[in-house]
Structure 1
Amino acid sequence: MTVREPASYTLADMADASIGAATLAELAGARDDLWPAISQHPNCYPALAEWIAQQSEPAPAPKAAAMSSEAWAAQFQGNNGREATMSEYQNALATGEIIQEAQPAEGAVAQIANAARTAQRGGWQMWAPFAIPVLAFMGFISLFLPAASASASIFGNRISQKVSFFGEDAEGVGVMLLVFMLAVLALGVTSIVKNVQWAKLAAAIAGIVVGLVSLIVTISLMANMGDSSSNFGAFSVNTSVGSGTVMLSIVSILLVVASLITVLPKKAAAQHPVQ
């Protein structure tokens, strides 16, 4: 009896119910293109069908090579348009996407010092976006405090009056600053919620513009008002800058500083071997 070579079998031959289990096993080992037909053949025994199913399973996708934390953070921001959260970083660390470099014991002190310096360099830029809406809210509050105060004394009778940012003499400056501060507050909150670069940039630019405008207004008010006293015999006049102007001037300076820190480019920390 002539034994057929496995290469001579075709898909049509697999319709022959007389092909034995041994021949099917031999074919399965040599002809992976016939595995579906072999599995459906009436003489295919369970062990052979299970073996074919195991061999037919797709190979697992190759795992991405681990990278440094700086490279991973840059790749994440490029792919997602935002910075990674702490939970996303910890998940990447747990799944092996980020290299966990073992540090020698003698370098522990140096590593702690390097970590402290890195935190100090990145701390301002980390918290500056959160400071923008907080400072805008403080600026909003300062507009409802007295901008200045004036008092007059006539024959021992004293009259005092507080000047508001929304008074008639302010000529709408208070309303303008109020709208500006609310706009910065809204943009600042949006930048925190969205956590995307364009929102942070918009909030920072608005903070710089509004901070400078507010600072100019307060400096002008201080120059025109100041703390002065005039005596005309029994008649005296005293003027002083109000708490709202002082608070607004401080908030304006801090708002400009926080906004500038937000838009400054971040310096990547250089990697140096531990000495």
Structure 2
Amino acid sequence: MTAADFTTFTFQSAQDPTLSPLLLGQLAQARPDLHAAILQNPGCSAALREWIIAQESASPVAYSDAPAAPLLPPDALRVAPAVPPTAPPAGVRALPLTAAGFGVIGLIALALPAVSLHAASMFGSFDRTGGFFSDAAQHTGAGIITVMIAAILVGLIGFGAKSGGARAACGTIIIVCGVIGVIIASIIITGAPDYSSSGTGYYAIVEAASGTYLLLSTSIAMALVGLFILLKRNAHLAVGFEVSL
């Protein structure tokens, strides 16, 4: 095997991350003038880093008249083991369950009136309500059921997910479910008044009712929980990255 020609190495080439720990150790012994570059190389092990710092602190010299450096310690070329990712806090793991709970509340909203009608004429007045499957509610009941069941299932899956990627995917889907719920509620709130009417001696007012507003608030909360899952997951990754460094 041909020995490496360390005289051709430059400051830039000594920073090449593809250099093996063994080659970096040999280069550090042969070229003290490149110690600064080697320290910046991602492949520089902790032991090699300590050895270089010790050499520089003792007697920094130029390459041209550098004395033979002492042999590296046996563990100088050992690659430090990767730090395993830590588990997310219990509160973060429980967030998908919170989203599933909001999905249940969204289903409960279906049992409440989506729209209300107040009509009056010369013969008297009356009040009625309509559900999410009525014309005034744009027949949105089936869509709400689908979205809320999806949020419940994804929330349960996210709670049991082990990987950060799976939790991030669940958080994204929960956000989508929440946004769809907000859109449906907004359609009812803005569209229900179109069914109002009036004429000589009578009027009828149609507007969104308690079920729609419960759906709206629940969907907003669900979307925020999904966003919180993503933010907490990214913050946890950032902390884990700093620890591994």
TM-score by length of 1: 0.49
Which of 201, 218, 222 is the equivalent residue of 1:251? Answer: 218
TM-fit CA distance, 1:192: 1.4
TM-fit CA distance, 1:268: 2.2
Contact residue 147 and residue 181 of structure 2 kept, 8 A? no
C-alpha distance in structure 1 between counterparts of 2:151 and 2:132, whole Å: 19
CA RMSD after TM alignment: 3.3
Flag structure 1 segments of 5+ consecutive residues without an equivalent. Answer: 1-70, 78-82, 87-122
C-alpha distance in structure 2 between counterparts of 1:231 and 1:126, whole Å: 53
What is the letter of the counterpart of residue 129 of structure 1?
P
TM-fit CA distance, 1:174: 1.2
TM-fit CA distance, 1:159: 2.6
Report the counterpart of residue 206 of structure 1 in structure 2.
173
Contact residue 134 and residue 185 of structure 1 kept, 8 A? yes
C-alpha distance 230-139 of structure 1, shift in aligned 2 (>3 A): same
C-alpha distance in structure 1 between counterparts of 2:112 and 2:163, whole Å: 35
C-alpha distance 172-240 of structure 1, shift in aligned 2 (>3 A): closer
Contact residue 187 and residue 199 of structure 1 kept, 8 A? no
CA deviation map 1:107-143 (0-9, x unaligned)? xxxxxxxxxxxxxxxx6x4553232111111111112
Report the counterpart of residue 112 of structure 2 in structure 1.
145
Which of 147, 154, 158 is the equivalent residue of 2:121? Answer: 154
Report the counterpart of residue 206 of structure 2 in structure 1.
239
Which of 123, 137, 145 is the equivalent residue of 1:178? Answer: 145
C-alpha distance in structure 1 between counterparts of 2:228 and 2:186, whole Å: 23
Which of 159, 162, 175 is the equivalent residue of 1:192? Answer: 159
CA deviation map 1:244-269 (0-9, x unaligned)? 11011111111111101111211429
Where does 1:81-230 land on structure 2 (aligned, <5 Å)? Answer: 83=87, 125=92, 127-168=94-135, 170=137, 172-225=139-192
TM-fit CA distance, 1:193: 3.0
Contact residue 132 and residue 204 of structure 1 kept, 8 A? no
What is the letter of the counterpart of residue 256 of structure 1?
A
Q: Percent identity?
A: 22
CA deviation map 1:163-216 (0-9, x unaligned)? 211225545421022011101101111221344434423321221111111111
Contact residue 116 and residue 128 of structure 2 kept, 8 A? yes
C-alpha distance in structure 1 between counterparts of 2:173 and 2:88, whole Å: 25
TM-fit CA distance, 1:230: 6.6
Contact residue 104 and residue 148 of structure 2 kept, 8 A? yes
C-alpha distance in structure 2 between counterparts of 1:183 and 1:130, whole Å: 13
Contact residue 187 and residue 202 of structure 1 kept, 8 A? no
Contact residue 188 and residue 200 of structure 1 kept, 8 A? no
C-alpha distance in structure 1 between counterparts of 2:89 and 2:216, whole Å: 34
C-alpha distance in structure 2 between counterparts of 1:249 and 1:84, whole Å: 30
Q: How many residues align?
A: 158
What is the letter of the counterpart of residue 200 of structure 1?
R
C-alpha distance in structure 2 between counterparts of 1:127 and 1:227, whole Å: 42
Task: Name the SS of the counterpart of 1:268 in structure 2.
Answer: helix
Task: Name the SS of the counterpart of 1:240 in structure 2.
Answer: strand
